[in-house]
Chain A
Amino acid sequence: MLRRLAADHKTSIVSAAIIVLFVLGAILAPVLTPYEYDSINLAERLAAPSAEHLFGTDEAGRDVLTRMLFGSRVSLVIGIVPSLLSVVVGTFVGMVAGFHGGKVDTVIMRVADVVMSFPTMLLAMVVMYTLGGGTEDVFLTLVLVGWAAVARVVRAETLKLKESEYVEAARIIGVRRARIILRHILPNCLPTIIVLFTLEIPSSMLTESSLSFLGMGIQPPNASWGLMVSAGRAFLYHAPWLCFAPCLAIMAIVLAFNYLGDGLRDVLDPHLQSQ
């Protein structure tokens, strides 16, 4: 599978490389930089990018690159963990709704409609205000907002697959319901689910960044890309690197996940494998 990804999808490979680079950067952050993310050095306030400070320093003289490396930990974890949870919850709920049908389906999908009819940011802000500003609360918020879209797509897919002839064939053989869901419906939903997952990651990251930008996500002095953009906004004219560096990082990783999702979808389709 990886070999095929390499052969046909150069964009995916580049994307995967970018993601790996970011992950390595996050893990090795303390080793990669001589500075602390919260060590203040007022003598070097708002220094332009130089050999010592590759991306310059911020208004408190903290190294921007260091803060970005540490901030990527927050962004990656917030990108991946809630997305995974949303996809797992959404898939389960969507499959139950689609396969079971009837009242169960109606109740689940109406709840999903209610969740989806709220503007995402507004709902996220309400939850964050109510719960406070910890990382776990951001997780919870993102899952509360994210599961509904996944459930809707997975339900539609399940409804389609439920009527397919090979599911009927499995039924005639006598395969039990749980096994049909697990062995026939889930594997055939998987390409969709993986794409949803890779698309959910950047949207979680963006939501987190937006929340932090608005001061409702990660709290200072912890670093987060959204928070850094928010703080740098004040110095946009005389120290643009404060905003641009985290912005570019957000853009790069969001694009990387999107392209990887695209490539994975192609590779995971068994019909394309033979061609």
Chain B
Amino acid sequence: MAQRTLEVSHLHTSFFTERGEIKAVQDVSMHVDKGQVVGVVGESGCGKSTLGRMLIGALPPTSGEVRFKGHTITGLKERDFSAYRRQLQLIFQDPYASLDPRMKVRDLIAEPLVTHKVCASKDEVTQRVLGLMKAAGIPADYLNRYPHQFSGGQRQRIGIARAIALDPALIVCDEPVSALDVSVQNQILNLLRELQEERGLTYVFISHDLSVVRHISDRICVMFLGKVMEMGPTEDVFTEARHPYTRFLLDSVLPPNPHRRGQGMRLLEGEPPSPVNPPSGCCFRTRCPFATETCAGEEPNLRRMEPVEVACHHQR
């Protein structure tokens, strides 16, 4: 059996606002095996990023448990957690906001190395930084430049170099390409993929873009309003979507041939329901064409339907 890098069970998180409690993530259980890429997809505000932050221990869950290589890391004191800190890294969505504007590329990439004292001398730090820049595709003569002198794609390469600097066991990529130009997106995706193959990295890849997730993931997890709707191997989910929400998501991807657009496509109408006041039963029922009384009365649990898991009353 593949090695479990990360396993989470029954994760919940709530934020308390003036309008009431927002359940950002509800009862999410999943696992990530070593060397795998797990894609997390869903609309804006469905709790993907919140989940990502919890996976790497940057945000404490309200309840539930995160186990890293068999060790529980939720509820640890800061000092006890620091041993795991370097194993769990994050690539940010916004390459403009996530790099300190006053630090040079050299210092940005050296920061993880210096923080965890992995190098014996300054020369070694520089050598490692140059190696990481090469791996991330940043020309070596940019060593002393500031982030604002770079384009979005190049900045994201700096972010990637920082994330891989400590050879982490898991990297959560929080929409790493959605802030970039389409022409650059592919370069960054290919880079992430190459790095994954070369270094045997494990990713949790968060995105709202299905084609991006399909390109890179081994397994995917579809979320809606903080809950997992469907989860399973990528190809199974893509070719044979069982949950109506997944089907809508797949239909919303434009086909490359413009003459085929609009044929057989069903588009989801309306906005996602308010997370402050979610509908009873199945949270998707207000937008689901197949909704029945059972959907309003009872909340569907995630059920195993080989090879996937689905949370829908109509799939048995």
> B112 to A173, Cβ gap below 8 A?
yes
* Cβ–Cβ < 8 Å partners of A184 in chain B: 100, 102
Complex partner residue of B94 from A165, A170, A274, CB under 8 angstroms: A165
Q: How large, as a class, is the contact surface on chain A?
A: 20 to 34
> B56 to A188, Cβ gap below 8 A?
no
* Cβ–Cβ < 8 Å partners of B100 in chain A: 166, 169-170, 183-184, 187-188
Please report the C-alpha to C-alpha distance between residue A109 and residue B99 in the assembled complex, in whole angstroms. Answer: 30
> B115 to A174, Cβ gap below 8 A?
yes
* Cβ–Cβ < 8 Å partners of B58 in chain A: 168, 171-172
* Cβ–Cβ < 8 Å partners of A271 in chain B: 101, 148
> A270 to B102, Cβ gap below 8 A?
yes
Please report the C-alpha to C-alpha distance between residue A152 and residue B195 in the assembled complex, in whole angstroms. Answer: 46
Interface residue B208 (Cβ < 8 Å from any Cβ of A): no
Interface residues of B in 140-169 (CB under 8 A from A): 146, 148-149, 159, 162, 166
Which residue among B102, B116, B146, B148 has the maximum number of chain A CB atoms within 10 Å of its CB? B102
> B116 to A270, Cβ gap below 8 A?
no
Binds A, one of B84-92, B222-230, B297-305: B84-92
* Cβ–Cβ < 8 Å partners of A222 in chain B: none
Which residue among B56, B86, B89, B115 has the maximum number of chain A CB atoms within 10 Å of its CB? B115
* Cβ–Cβ < 8 Å partners of B115 in chain A: 173-176, 179
Interface residue B294 (Cβ < 8 Å from any Cβ of A): no
Interface residue A164 (Cβ < 8 Å from any Cβ of B): yes
> A172 to B56, Cβ gap below 8 A?
yes
B84 (CB) vs chain A CBs: closest residue:
A174
In terms of DSSP, what is the predominant structure of the interface of chain B? Answer: loop
Interface residue B111 (Cβ < 8 Å from any Cβ of A): yes
Please count how many residues in chain B sit with their CB below 8 Å of the partner chain's CB atoms.
27
> B98 to A166, Cβ gap below 8 A?
yes
Interface residue B82 (Cβ < 8 Å from any Cβ of A): yes
A166 (CB) vs chain B CBs: closest residue:
B100
Complex partner residue of A188 from B90, B102, B159, CB under 8 angstroms: B102
In terms of DSSP, what is the predominant structure of the interface of chain A? Answer: helix
* Cβ–Cβ < 8 Å partners of A183 in chain B: 100, 103
Please report the C-alpha to C-alpha distance between residue A12 and residue B82 in the assembled complex, in whole angstroms. Answer: 48
Kindly provide the distance from the CB of B22 to the nearest chain A CB, expressed in whole angstroms: 18
> A169 to B148, Cβ gap below 8 A?
no
Interface residue B2 (Cβ < 8 Å from any Cβ of A): no
Assuming the contacts A175-B111, A270-B146, A270-B148, asked whether A169 and B92 have C-beta atoms less than 8 A apart, the reply is yes
Kindly provide the distance from the CB of A158 to the nearest chain B CB, expressed in whole angstroms: 15
Kindly provide the distance from the CB of A174 to the nearest chain B CB, expressed in whole angstroms: 4
Assuming the contacts A174-B82, A175-B111, asked whether A274 and B148 have C-beta atoms less than 8 A apart, the reply is yes
> A165 to B98, Cβ gap below 8 A?
yes
Please report the C-alpha to C-alpha distance between residue A187 and residue B100 in the assembled complex, in whole angstroms. Answer: 10
Which residue among A172, A187, A274 has the maximum number of chain B CB atoms within 10 Å of its CB? A172
> B116 to A174, Cβ gap below 8 A?
yes
Interface residue B97 (Cβ < 8 Å from any Cβ of A): yes
A-B contact pairs, 9 of them (CB 8 A): A165-B98, A172-B89, A173-B112, A175-B111, A184-B100, A188-B100, A188-B101, A188-B102, A271-B148
| Cβ-closest 10 pairs across A and B | A174-B85, A165-B97, A165-B98, A166-B100, A187-B102, A173-B112, A169-B98, A175-B115, A172-B90, A174-B115
* Interface positions of A (Cβ within 8 A of B): 164-166, 168-176, 179, 183-184, 187-188, 190, 270-271, 273-274
* Interface positions of B (Cβ within 8 A of A): 56, 58, 82, 85-86, 88-90, 92, 94, 97-103, 111-112, 115-116, 146, 148-149, 159, 162, 166
- 4 more contacts with CB within 8 A, not counting A165-B97, A173-B85, A173-B89, are A172-B88, A183-B103, A184-B100, A273-B146
